[in-house]
Amino acid sequence: MILTLAQLDFTVGDLEGNTQKILSTLEEQRRLIGSEGVETVCIAFPELALCGYPPLDLLDNQSFIEQQLDALQEVCRATFGLLHVYVFLGYVEKNSGAGKALHNSVAVCHNGQVIYNYRKRLLPTYDVFDEDRYFEPGKEAGIVTIEGWRIGLLVCEDIWVTNRYNVDPPAELRKTQVDVILSLNASPSSVGKLEARITRAEEIVQRQSAPLFYLNQVGGNDELVFDGNTFVSSEWGRQYHAQTHVTGDAFKEGVYSFRLDKKLIPNWGVCTTWHVVRDIHKKSPLTLIDKENPKRDFGAFFYDQAVCGVRDYMRKCGFKKAVIGSSGGIDSAVTMAIAVEAVGAENVIAITMPSEYSSVGSVDDSAVLCSNLGIENFKTIPIRDQFQGFMDTFNEHMGDEEAGVTEQNVQARIRGQILMAVSNRTGALVLSTGNKSELSVGYCTIYGDMCGGLAPISDCYKMEVYEIARYVNRKAQGEVIPVSIIDKAPSAELAPGQKDTDNLPPYEILDYVLKYLIEGYVSVNLHVGMKRAPKKTRALLEKIHGMLMRTEFKRRQAAIGLKMHDKAFGQGRRYPIASKVKLGGF
Question: d(Cα 381, Cα 61) in Å, to the nearest integer?
Answer: 46
In 10 A of CB 540, how many CB atoms? 16
Which distant-in-sequence residues (6+ apart) come within 8 Å of 136 by Cβ?
95, 97, 98, 99, 100, 101, 102, 103, 119
Half-sphere exposure at residue 168, Cβ-oriented, CA atoms within 13 angstroms: 8
Question: d(Cα 471, Cα 156) in Å, to the nearest integer?
Answer: 32
- Find the domain containing 348 and state its range: 300-503+551-556
Query: For residue 295, what pLDDT band results from cuts at 50, 70 and 90?
Result: low
H/E stretch holding 276 reads strand 269-279
Question: d(Cα 411, Cα 324) in Å, to the nearest integer?
Answer: 16
Same domain? For 319 and 248 the reply is no
What local confidence, expressed as pLDDT, does residue 262 receive?
82
Mean pLDDT of all residues in 245-274: 79
Query: Which CATH number belongs to the domain containing residue 395 in this structure?
Result: 3.40.50.620
pLDDT above 50 (res 3): yes
Query: Which CATH number belongs to the domain containing residue 285 in this structure?
Result: 3.60.110.10
Task: Classify residue 565: in a domain, yes or no.
Answer: no
Give the burial class of 394: count Cβ atoms within 10 A of its Cβ; 0-12 exposed, 13-18 middle, 19 or more buried.
middle
pLDDT tens, residue by residue, 304-357 = 999 999 999 999 999 999 999 999 999 999 999 999 999 999 999 999 999 988
More confident residue, 235 or 72: 72
For residue 503, the one-letter residue type is: N
Residues 63/15, Cβ–Cβ less than 8 Å: no
Question: d(Cα 496, Cα 405) in Å, to the nearest integer?
Answer: 13
Query: For residue 487, what pLDDT band results from cuts at 50, 70 and 90?
Result: very high
Task: Classify residue 352: in a domain, yes or no.
Answer: yes
In sequence order, what are the beta bridge partners of 7? 254
SS3 for 401?
A: coil
What local confidence, expressed as pLDDT, does residue 34 receive?
63
Q: What is the pTM of this model?
A: 0.92
Count of domains observed in the chain: 2
How does strand 224-227 pair with strand 218-221? antiparallel
Same domain? For 159 and 226 the reply is yes
Residue finishing a domain among 259, 280, 296: 296
What local confidence, expressed as pLDDT, does residue 412 receive?
95
What local confidence, expressed as pLDDT, does residue 516 receive?
85
Residue finishing a domain among 296, 326, 342: 296
Nearest-5° Cα angle at 531, 527 to 533: 100
Task: Classify residue 375: in a domain, yes or no.
Answer: yes
DSSP 212-254: EEEEE-EEEETTEEEEB--EEEESS-GGG-TTEEEE--BSS-E
Residues 253/22, Cβ–Cβ less than 8 Å: no
Lowest mean pLDDT among 20-24, 267-271, 407-411, 551-555: 267-271
For residue 231, the one-letter residue type is: F
Same domain? For 236 and 249 the reply is yes
Identified catalytic residue from 42, 47, 76, 444: 47
For residue 482, the one-letter residue type is: P
Task: Classify residue 477: in a domain, yes or no.
Answer: yes
What local confidence, expressed as pLDDT, does residue 239 receive?
35
What local confidence, expressed as pLDDT, does residue 261 receive?
86
SS3 content of the chain, % helix, strand, coil (to 5): 40, 20, 40
Give the burial class of 98: count Cβ atoms within 10 A of its Cβ; 0-12 exposed, 13-18 middle, 19 or more buried.
exposed
pLDDT tens, residue by residue, 446-478 = 999 999 999 999 999 999 999 999 999 999 999
**Sign for the pseudo-dihedral over CA of 223, 224, 229, 235:** positive
**Sign for the pseudo-dihedral over CA of 14, 19, 20, 26:** positive
Q: In what order do the strands lie in the sheet with 348-352?
A: 378-380, 348-352, 322-325, 429-430
pLDDT above 80 (res 522): no
Identified catalytic residue from 42, 76, 109, 156: 156
Same domain? For 322 and 243 the reply is no
Same domain? For 327 and 286 the reply is no
Query: For residue 142, what pLDDT band results from cuts at 50, 70 and 90?
Result: very high
Identified catalytic residue from 42, 76, 120, 172: 120
> Torsion angle of alpha carbons 543, 544, 547, 553, nearest 10°?
-150
SS3 for 88?
A: strand
Query: For residue 242, what pLDDT band results from cuts at 50, 70 and 90?
Result: very low
Question: d(Cα 153, Cα 170) in Å, to the nearest integer?
Answer: 9
Question: d(Cα 500, Cα 493) in Å, to the nearest integer?
Answer: 9
Question: d(Cα 374, Cα 343) in Å, to the nearest integer?
Answer: 12
Mean pLDDT of all residues in 189-217: 89
pLDDT above 50 (res 438): yes
In the 3-class helix/strand/coil scheme, how is 531-542 assigned residue by residue? Answer: CCCCHHHHHHHH
Question: d(Cα 127, Cα 54) in Å, to the nearest integer?
Answer: 13
Same domain? For 118 and 257 the reply is yes
Share of the chain above pLDDT 70, in %: 89
Residue 223 known to be catalytic = no
**Sign for the pseudo-dihedral over CA of 516, 520, 523, 529:** positive
What local confidence, expressed as pLDDT, does residue 38 receive?
66
Nearest-5° Cα angle at 352, 349 to 355: 160
Mean pLDDT of all residues in 479-496: 88
Task: Classify residue 99: in a domain, yes or no.
Answer: yes
For residue 92, the one-letter residue type is: V
Mean pLDDT of all residues in 102-131: 96
What local confidence, expressed as pLDDT, does residue 237 receive?
42
Same domain? For 421 and 278 the reply is no
Question: d(Cα 452, Cα 432) in Å, to the nearest integer?
Answer: 5
pLDDT above 80 (res 191): yes
What local confidence, expressed as pLDDT, does residue 283 receive?
41
pLDDT above 90 (res 556): yes
Lowest mean pLDDT among 211-220, 371-380, 470-479, 573-582: 573-582
What local confidence, expressed as pLDDT, does residue 280 receive?
47
SS3 for 86?
A: strand
Query: For residue 504, what pLDDT band results from cuts at 50, 70 and 90?
Result: confident
In 10 A of CB 495, how many CB atoms? 17
Question: d(Cα 447, Cα 432) in Å, to the nearest integer?
Answer: 11
> Torsion angle of alpha carbons 362, 367, 369, 373, nearest 10°?
160
Same domain? For 287 and 313 the reply is no
Same domain? For 177 and 118 the reply is yes
In the 3-class helix/strand/coil scheme, how is 136-147 assigned residue by residue? Answer: CCCCCCEEEEEC
The pair phi, psi for residue 138, each rounded to 5°, is -70, 160
Bond into 170 cis (ω within 30): no
In 10 A of CB 16, how many CB atoms? 11
Residue finishing a domain among 296, 311, 344: 296
Which distant-in-sequence residues (6+ apart) come within 8 Å of 199 by Cβ?
none
The pair phi, psi for residue 140, each rounded to 5°, is -125, 145
Residue 156 known to be catalytic = yes
What local confidence, expressed as pLDDT, does residue 425 receive?
97
The gap between the terminal CA atoms of the chain, to the nearest Å, is: 57
pLDDT tens, residue by residue, 392-404 = 999 999 988 877 8
Lowest mean pLDDT among 234-238, 245-249, 306-310, 559-563: 234-238
Same domain? For 93 and 133 the reply is yes
Task: Classify residue 546: in a domain, yes or no.
Answer: no
Task: Classify residue 545: in a domain, yes or no.
Answer: no
Task: Classify residue 573: in a domain, yes or no.
Answer: no
Same domain? For 252 and 305 the reply is no
What local confidence, expressed as pLDDT, does residue 29 receive?
84
Same domain? For 205 and 346 the reply is no
Residues 462/501, Cβ–Cβ less than 8 Å: no
Question: d(Cα 276, Cα 287) in Å, to the nearest integer?
Answer: 11
In 10 A of CB 19, how many CB atoms? 20
Question: d(Cα 57, Cα 374) in Å, to the nearest integer?
Answer: 41
